[in-house]
Amino acid sequence: MAQTSQSEGDEDMQELLSKLTLDEKIELLSGKNVWETPSIDRLSIPSLKVSDGPNGARGASFFDGTTAACFPSCVSLAATFNTHLSYAIGGALGQEAITKGAYVLLGPTVCCHRSPLGGRNFEAFSEDPVISGVLASAYVKGLQAERVAATVKHFVGNEQDTRRFSVDESISERALREIYLKPFEMVAKDAEPWCFMTSYPKINGTNVDASSKFLIDILRDEWKYRGMVMSDWGAASTVEGIKYGMDIEMPGPPNKRTPPAVHSALEAGKIHESDINARVLSTLKLLKKVGKFSDRKETAEEQAIDRPEHRALIRKAGSEGIVLLKNERNILPIDVKKTKKIALLGPLAKYAAAHGGGSASLNCHYKVNPHDAFVARLGGNVEITHGKGAHIFRVYPDFEIGCKNAKGNPGFLAEYFKELSASASPFRVEEFPRGSFTTLMNTHVVGSKTVRFTTTYRPPVSGNHYISFSGLGPSTLSINGALLVDQREPTKDSMGFLLGVQDEARIQYSFDANKEYSIVIETHPSPVSNSELYLLDNQNSIHLGFSEQAEMEQDVLSEAVGLAEKADLAVVFVGNTTQWETEGQDLSSMTLPADGSQDRLIASIAAVNPNVVVVNCTGVPVELPWFDQVPAFVQAWYAGQETGNAILDVLLGETNPSGKLPVSWPKKYEHTGCYGHFGLDSFESRAVEYVEGVFVGYRWFDKMWGSEKEVRFPFGYGLSYTQFEISGAKLCGSISNDAGARVKITVKVQNVGQKAGAETVQVYIEPPKVEGLDSPVKGLVGFAKAELHSGEEKKIDVEFARDAAAFWDEQAHRWKVNKGMYSILVGTSSAPADLKMRLETAVEEDFFFGP
């Protein structure tokens, strides 16, 4: 379906705007609740529902909601370097959003990966603005072809989660333009997204919505964006954002845009009714684009529709994003005719790493873990053993098995009270499947002062089992009437608590399998604001974790090593869970959790078995102290609900790996350009300086070749089970001050190996050296992926325009292209050794363009 131009057909919405009263327009300046915009019944203006998120349409419930399809994370999608696949996933996500009654999806995330410690990196595409912009544009076009609005986020500077609600980021204008704004600019111009979402951080001392710079001057005036701008949830910083370009404050009810605050600002002349009109018109136009005035007037009930075609797309995308980084002795693909016994080891062998934590998480229709995939496909022909090998709990798993609530159903019962006591009748009762709940985003329980959370537990086995417990606010835990934990103080990190990464009280309790145990928890909101985000105030939440004594005290490392010794092949699954890699908290180091246990596991297995394949499931690079000891290493990212099948497709060779790294892979965090100036380094100061400027990712490591800080794996790198040759590069066109002019690079790609596969050709531009100007060695200008049968050859084209050669001149406040000779580098990764061909084109005179 063709997209509708954002400038067409506004007359009817202008007329509708003219019929609104001032108070009705003010009502439309903010959401009515967590996920919906207001309706104006007098004029038949309907409400519009939005939904998280970038890798699946979760629906209205943040936890345990209607099941949904979980697609690979955006970093996994970026590793495919496949724009057609990105478009297809965008379209499927549009269809998924519709099943949740939502016609706005809160994605994609296009912030750059500034550091390998970014807790939310997995949700964004890449360290490089070009690949982020190209793939996000395809994603947006696919999504909006279903008449579901994309929401490009978080505009701008949302690279770290530490103190993201209050952090002040010092970023040079050049770095902003060339790195951090660039992917947003590309998407705004190429894909015409219907929504943008603003970010929380201050940029050089000012929030995005607190001046005209970002939302008016750049987004609307320079880039000619005509869509709607919403705040991140709770990110509206001032009522004057109405003047500065933020169309709607989310969520509702409003915090900054209360009717009294807006009327006061009008009376003081801080805003004008024309500003309000502009903001409301954006919302009305969005309602029209998604069909709310025609065939989609009503908000449909949420449905769980598990589509076979989406299953297939998720599996294809997941496997295509997997990156083969080492394959000595051609140990992969697995030869199942010669391999009689496989040991599946590691804490993620039975864990489906479908997604990271936070807004990208959802209640999947199903999740396939690697162990189950192996057993289902190979179990009849190969002996498969399993050992966990390491415990990596950050908090104990949710208390679940053996629990029955007062209604006779599995799980827990939550009773909500308006008083600071649970003695009165609850005003609402809800059921939860496991030992955790939160009132955040739950519009039914606003104002609850006490929550009683109960279950009856019948232990499957006796033992002195392990329990962990914590509350967002003051909370107690009792078993059979005995008080075991009395938490009198609120948690120190509200967001960390809600995302499952908080410190907890840990105890052991003796359970008898022949008895039942009444578990009662009472919790209250914090009596003082302990958050930097008002949305987290006055919330109730607890977590009750549990692990059996036998599991916790078992020597899982020795068991795994013993299994590895007896196996023909050991496949070790390691990585991060949602407890370790999540929105709301950056990583503390590049090491795998926890306490070196996964690194010890791999080294111990490699010492007893020469045939080891390590599969890493993270959204970021990690340190690999055992790398030289293992013959094969695979980066699997977060590959969606089909992750186990996608991984096995690659390990068996049913899919020839074609993924390429969309990020540089440092040997150590200390080698990065932002070391000491990112994330937890800025926790106390609430300020961070982007000291590396434009030297982000490979732009930094290009300066490090030949030194100890050289990357372990370069940006764009990835192996295959076949071999390719690229040749015959030709250049047509030239770099000029003609906005429509293009330079076209044509390259031959041939599969010279024995298997069908795909290769990604990458084109970089190397600018001339100019005295006094410190520029990166090169920058990506484009890429193309070719699928080839054995022996097949194809020609591929990559085009770029003048902006690829330009840098931001901070004195002129414009884009500038310097005169001189520009080298065009063609290859298969950013590493010098992989750039096989060099072409040249000259620019005769300096020129400027842009604002």
Under 8 Å between Cβ of 676 and 663: no
Q: Whole-angstrom Cα distance, residue 834 to residue 831?
A: 5
Q: Whole-angstrom Cα distance, residue 255 to residue 237?
A: 9
Query: Which candidate, 202, 82, 203, 185, places its Cα nearest to that of 139?
Result: 82
* Per-residue DSSP letter, 768: P
Strands 50-51 and 793-800: unpaired
Biggest CA pair distance of the chain: 87
DSSP readout, 431-489?
EESSSEEE-TT-GGGTT-SEEEEEEEE--SS-EEEEEEEEESSSEEEEETTEEEEEE-S
Six-digit token string for 320:
């295509």
> Phi first, then psi: what are they for 408, rounded to 5°?
85, 10
- Nearby residues of 437 by Cβ (< 8 Å), 6 or more positions away: 63, 412, 414, 430, 451, 453, 540, 541, 542
Report residue 261 CA to chain centroid gap.
35
Following CA atoms 392, 396, 400, 404 in sequence, which dihedral angle do they give, to the nearest 10 degrees? 170
Q: Which of 232, 275, 649, 803 is catalytic?
A: 232
Query: Which candidate, 611, 840, 679, places its Cα nearest to that of 158?
Result: 679
- Nearby residues of 308 by Cβ (< 8 Å), 6 or more positions away: none
Query: Which candidate, 759, 763, 757, 769, places its Cα nearest to that of 730?
Result: 763
Question: Residue 765: which H helix or E strand, with range?
Answer: strand 757-766
Length of the chain measured in residues: 851
Under 8 Å between Cβ of 611 and 187: no
Q: Whole-angstrom Cα distance, residue 799 to residue 741?
A: 10
Query: Which candidate, 718, 752, 778, 731, places its Cα nearest to that of 81?
Result: 718
Helices (H) and strands (E) in the chain, counts: 18, 36
Per-residue CA distances from 132 to 77, 128, 177, 269 (Å): 10, 6, 14, 41
Residue in the structure block whose two tokens are 């709990």? 393
Question: Residue 521: which H helix or E strand, with range?
Answer: strand 517-523
Six-digit token string for 538:
């006055």
Q: Whole-angstrom Cα distance, residue 610 to residue 591?
A: 24
**Three-state secondary structure of 69-112:** CCCCCHHHHHHHCCHHHHHHHHHHHHHHHHHCCCCEECCCECCC
Per-residue CA distances from 420 to 416, 426, 430, 449 (Å): 10, 12, 19, 5
> SS3 for 278?
helix
Query: Which candidate, 228, 165, 172, 170, places its Cα nearest to that of 199?
Result: 165
Q: Whole-angstrom Cα distance, residue 742 to residue 800?
A: 6
Q: Secondary structure of the chain: what % helix, strand, coil (to 5)?
A: 25, 25, 50
232 carries an active-site annotation:
yes
> SS3 for 566?
coil
Active site (catalytic) residues: 232
